[in-house]
Amino acid sequence: MKVMMSRNRINIVIYVLAAVVLAGAATSASVIAPACHRFSLSNGMEVYLIEDHRQPMIDFFMLFGTGTAVDSSRTAGLCSVSLSMLLDGTENFPDTALANAIDSTGGTVNVNALRDGSFIEGTFLSRDLQFSLEILADMVQRPKLTEINLERKKRRFVSVSMQRQSIASQRLTNVLYSQIYGEEGYGSPTTGTRAGIENIELADVQQFFDDNIGPNNASLFLGGDITIDETVKLINKLFSNWKPGMGFSKPIVNLSLPDSLKIIILDYPEAPSTDFLIGRPAVPAGSENTAALILFDYILGGGGEISRLWQKVVLEQTLASSVGSQIEWSKQNGAWMISGNSSNDMAPGAILKVMNVIEELRDIKVPFKELDEARNFFYGYATDYYETTYSSLAMMATLKRIGVGQDFYEKLFDRFRECDPKRLRNIAGSLLDKNNMTIIVSGPANILRPGLSQLGSVEVIESVEN
């Protein structure tokens, strides 16, 4: 759940990460990435510092290794709700005093919870470095958790959860994750469910903090107009007495790979058009197949208008207004998804064509020219995502969150160079089995069901109660 997030780019997709790597092919990724000073406190907190005097600003991310994947079905939403309460005051800045103190400097502090991790983000003028770290230290070590604030947060998150469920793309993604990972943990919506949120009690929040908000589960990424020596001293002063947590909540991962094609229609009789999602588990971000999957996905649908899906479904037969593919990376398998939109009467034909393209590509023979074009796409991003301290810190935090090392770029670049048409054909053959896929469609079932029945049995859900 994003709270007051004005510049959040921490969830940068691997495409962007790959772009930075490839942009440095002529030299090395270390030339592009800014110099980083790394150390750890005795209590286990990891620290990454970047000194950059181009602007009188500082940015930070404090990343916790616990995300919404630890939520049980009983309290789905606990991670997001708990983290958001960090903004409701501390012992030294109770209630609105915290927000007022931050606003008085012109700075911002935001929180966000994702499946693989959660974080606090801040931006301040460099003159307020000490104040910003004092605020951060107070938030994580001395939060003020009250019943009144919890009830207010619960009402807000129920509203947000219901609002997201009204967005077609969001409800399709939620259903896909529940099909892949079950009804809790990785399979639960990151903002929780209405029933789960309403079940959260203050004791649950306190237990979540005791278990997960500790220095031995935290990494601080900070950079900007700072001096390394002074910042190291300040961090030691403010965080060295932070007591380690007793133990971390474990993510709930119930990965399920279907052995036959599943087709689900979310029946919205009055929908003016149909949205569809075809998905399956991908591979972990740290897998040796990551590079090949990135390139293959670009050729399949991630490359926009030059991709195979766009050419065959949108341009050649005009069956859909849009279609594309993407990978959601994580420490686990994440998800590989093909999404699109079409008119209600043409949607079944569009989905049938997508499935035909998938079947054709199982034995894909990628010309070297097309493979080079896929690589060159990533060269084009150059150094955009290392251009600022903020984006550099966000990228470093992303790598940590999805469970890969800070040397990920160098390794990924080497694997890009090793990819050949045979490697792409192997990844296509292993991942494009339609029997391992789930088709989820949001639209009027009476129009969609006859056409989709050509692919197999269809389950119709009249409404999706969150």
Digit-coded pLDDT (tens) for 30-78: 336 788 999 999 999 999 999 999 999 999 999 999 999 999 999 999 9
Give the pLDDT confidence score for residue 12 in this predicted structure: 37
For residue 454, pLDDT over 50 is answered with yes
Report the pLDDT averaged over residues 204-208. 96
Q: Chain-wide mean pLDDT for the chain? A: 89
**Letter for the amino acid at 226?**
I
For residue 402, pLDDT over 80 is answered with yes
Pick 465 or 462 by higher pLDDT: 462
Convert the pLDDT of each residue in 253-266 to its tens digit: 999 888 899 999 99
457: tokens are: 């049995």
Task: Output the CA torsion sign for 267, 271, 274, 280.
Answer: negative
Give the pLDDT confidence score for residue 386 in this predicted structure: 73
Give the pLDDT confidence score for residue 347 in this predicted structure: 98
Give the pLDDT confidence score for residue 383 in this predicted structure: 60
Report the pLDDT averaged over residues 336-345. 97
Helix (H) or strand (E) holding 265: strand 262-267
Convert the pLDDT of each residue in 104-151 to its tens digit: 999 999 999 999 999 999 999 999 999 999 999 999 999 999 999 999
Q: Which of 201, 406, 208, 375 is nearest to 296 (CA)?
A: 375
Give the pLDDT confidence score for residue 38 in this predicted structure: 97
For residue 272, pLDDT over 90 is answered with yes
Q: How confident is the model at residue 369 (pLDDT cuts 50, 70, 90)?
A: confident
Pick 463 or 8 by higher pLDDT: 463
Q: How confident is the model at residue 336 (pLDDT cuts 50, 70, 90)?
A: very high
Convert the pLDDT of each residue in 288-321 to its tens digit: 999 999 999 999 999 899 999 999 999 999 999 9
Main-chain dihedrals φ then ψ at residue 45, nearest 5 degrees = -70, 130
Q: Which of 153, 194, 191 is nearest to 173 (CA)?
A: 191
Q: What domains appear along the chain, each with residue ranges and CATH number?
A: 34-239 (3.30.830.10), 262-384+419-461 (3.30.830.10)
pTM, entire model: 0.89
Q: Is 180 exposed, middle or buried (0-12, 13-18, 19+ CB in 10 A)?
A: buried
Least confident of 191-205, 303-317, 407-421: 407-421
For residue 6, pLDDT over 60 is answered with no
Convert the pLDDT of each residue in 78-117 to its tens digit: 999 999 999 999 999 998 999 999 999 999 999 999 999 9
3-state percent helix, strand, coil for the chain, nearest multiple of 5: 45, 20, 35
For a pLDDT cut of 70, what percent of the chain falls above it?
91
